[in-house]
Chains A and B, each alone.
Chain A
Amino acid sequence: MENILINAMLEVFSSMIFIDITAEPAEKDGTAAMEYNLVSLIGLAGDLKGILAIQCPGAVAMGITSAMLGMEVTELGGDVKDAIGEIANMVAGGLKEGLIPAGKKIELAIPTTVIGTSVRTSGLSGASRVMIPFTCPLGRFGIELRYILS
């Protein structure tokens, strides 16, 4: 699961954002929730039920958006929401494709973005959780998947 997510994220960054990112070792259950300025979430349904979230500090979200759009973005607003939400959508698409060889079929909901101060997210207590931190020259951000595989 981690590899599918990492590959999907690297693919999105190398094809659309052109920033070098490095995956750090995945964190599993029990890690305390971190606080972010921006979280883009997308629901997953089907053989894997879950929710995928891209979590960024504000500066990293603006940096990624600037690189993606090729223009300086200095406000945590609509452009950032669209950019990070689209990344969540594409990574979820990558996960969907990556699960096909295992015979798992999933459908995606629509991405939703939350922008604010001290934002935390959590899932149902029964679900599995994997969180992969990434580092890039702008700072750290993370991708989190909470899921139940049937």
Chain B
Amino acid sequence: MNGAISFSEINDKIIESTIEIFTGMVMMEISVAGEPLAKLGPLKNSITGMVGLAGVQKGVLAVHFPKQLALDVTGSFLGMDVEEINADVQDAIGEIANMLGGNLKTILSDRGKDIQLSLPSTIYGEEYAFSSQAEVDQVILPFQAPSGLFYVEIELER
């Protein structure tokens, strides 16, 4: 499915939409931090927002933030001070995953009609590894924000 779309094309568009979401909605300047990665080690003291893609193309889009950056992103996004991972942070990080998932859906299908998104979910913990089950093609895009690095991960079922 969608064999015509290459990851390099997806990467470019997702990088573009990530920067757009951050400058336009989160109000935070970010930049690409190097080449896409194939794998990510365990995440430490982090929060992950994820959303599933179902329909003609199944997959997952996830965005991984270290805790301090997640607090800063939420603060900037919602215009409030946050000091702990609470429901506001979970909603903000889930919403960023949701927006990126919506963009990925549009990239993968002409009008986004044959792919549907699940609800977003967040995962957080002291240390965790995040991996998919199915046979997937995977890419991880690193970004630099003022208070740390974060990663946008795309996994598409083959």
Q: Which A residues lie at the B interface, using CB under 8 A?
A: 35, 39-46, 49-51, 53, 81-82, 85-86, 89, 106-125, 127, 146-148
**Nearest residue in A to B91 (C-beta to C-beta)?**
A125
| In the assembled complex, B81 has its CB within 8 A of some CB on chain A | no
Are A45 and B55 interface neighbours, CB within 8 A? yes
Q: Which among A45, A81, A82, A86 is the interface contact of B52 at CB below 8 angstroms?
A: A45
Q: Which among A49, A53, A119 is the interface contact of B125 at CB below 8 angstroms?
A: A119
Are B134 and A111 interface neighbours, CB within 8 A? yes
Q: Contacts A109-B59, A123-B121 known; A114 to B54 CB distance under 8 Å?
A: no
- Report the separation of the CA atoms of residues A81 and B157 in the bound assembly, to the nearest whole angstrom: 17
Are A127 and B128 interface neighbours, CB within 8 A? no
Are B121 and A146 interface neighbours, CB within 8 A? yes
Are A108 and B126 interface neighbours, CB within 8 A? no
Q: Which B residues lie at the A interface, using CB under 8 A?
A: 42-43, 48, 50-55, 58-60, 62, 87, 90-91, 94, 116-134, 136, 155, 157
Nearest-neighbour CB distance to chain B for A106, whole angstroms, equals 8
Which residues in B have their C-beta under 8 angstroms from that of A82?
Answer: 133
Are B155 and A110 interface neighbours, CB within 8 A? yes
Main DSSP-derived SS at the A contact region: strand
Are B128 and A117 interface neighbours, CB within 8 A? yes
- Report the separation of the CA atoms of residues A89 and B58 in the bound assembly, to the nearest whole angstrom: 13
Q: Contacts A45-B55, A109-B60 known; A125 to B87 CB distance under 8 Å?
A: yes
Q: Give 21 pairs: A residue, B residue, CB < 8 Å, sorted on A.
A: A39-B123, A41-B123, A43-B118, A45-B118, A49-B118, A50-B119, A51-B52, A81-B131, A86-B133, A110-B136, A112-B60, A116-B42, A116-B127, A116-B129, A119-B125, A120-B123, A121-B122, A123-B120, A123-B122, A127-B119, A146-B119
Beyond the given pairs A43-B119, A51-B118, A117-B126, 11 more chain A to chain B contacts, judged by CB atoms under 8 angstroms and listed by A's residue number, are A42-B52, A45-B118, A46-B116, A82-B133, A112-B52, A114-B128, A116-B43, A116-B127, A116-B128, A120-B125, A122-B122
Are B52 and A121 interface neighbours, CB within 8 A? no
Q: Which among A42, A109, A112, A124 is the interface contact of B131 at CB below 8 angstroms?
A: A112
